[in-house]
Amino acid sequence: MAAELIVGLDVSSRARAEEIVSLLGDTVSFYKIGYQCFYGADGLALGKALIAAGKKVFFDLKLLDIDNTVEKGAAAIAATGAHFLTVHAYPKTMRAARKGAEGSNLSILGVTVLTSMDDQDVKDAGYARDAAGLVALRAQQARDAGIGGIVASPHEAEMVRTIIGPKMAIVTPGIRPAGSAAGDQKRVMGPAEAIAAGATHLVVARPIIEAPDPAEAARGILSEMQSGGTRFA
């Protein structure tokens, strides 16, 4: 199975999001809609339009609430035909979201530790573990909850794969191709290295959407991904 590139539409205007999609053309078939786009660019309607056009959509909403609310929220996203939805990787939350997505093609992803966080940030948040230890715990809980995959730094991908087995998705933000700035990300890795570590989906936003030629930037990342091979079933 080949790994997939997901482009983050991290913009506040639907017109700009649609322009990026148009510029990328057939180079990219998978898009992430996060907070900025969802709330600032009519992201729900945009996502539905992309799905209708044959694209895959990842709603990165990181749901966390009481079980009933999470379940109903996941069911509402499932009804759009979306491919991925993120929730915080707490056991009750993941189980509720899985229940809401039952009978659909929506795959629930548990967010472990944000790629903008390091060990000190995890400690400051009150966890008695380092980042890798917390990711390992969340990966085990995601596996036990029966969801589709997890979101983790590429630095933890190899370790996570040993915990969750070969079938679950590992979606990795914090991907920076050669020559790209890390920005506010702390645990970053190149595309080939992330694939070699076991990632199944790479999420890239700024290095593509802020490039002078987004399609050329995406093709470069896809080429780097191919050189990483595959390490998952």
Give the residue among 21, 36, 7 at the shortest CA–CA distance from 204: 7
Is pLDDT larger for residue 91 or for residue 177? Answer: 91
Q: What DSSP letter does each residue of 96-126 carry, written as one string?
A: HHHHHHTTSS-EEEEE-S-TT--HHHHHHTT
Choosing from 48, 55, 56, 62, which is the catalytic residue? 62
Looking at the domain that runs over 4-227, which CATH code has it been given? 3.20.20.70
Q: Is 62 a catalytic residue?
A: yes
- Please list the residues that pair with 88 across neighbouring strands: 111
pLDDT at residue 172 is higher than 80? yes
Element (H, E) at 49: helix 43-52
| Confidence label for 232 from pLDDT (cuts 50, 70 and 90) | very low
Is 56 annotated as ligand-binding? Answer: no
Is 140 annotated as ligand-binding? Answer: no
Where do the structural domains in the chain lie, given as residue ranges?
4-227
What are the tens digits of pLDDT across the range 67-83?
999 999 999 999 999 99
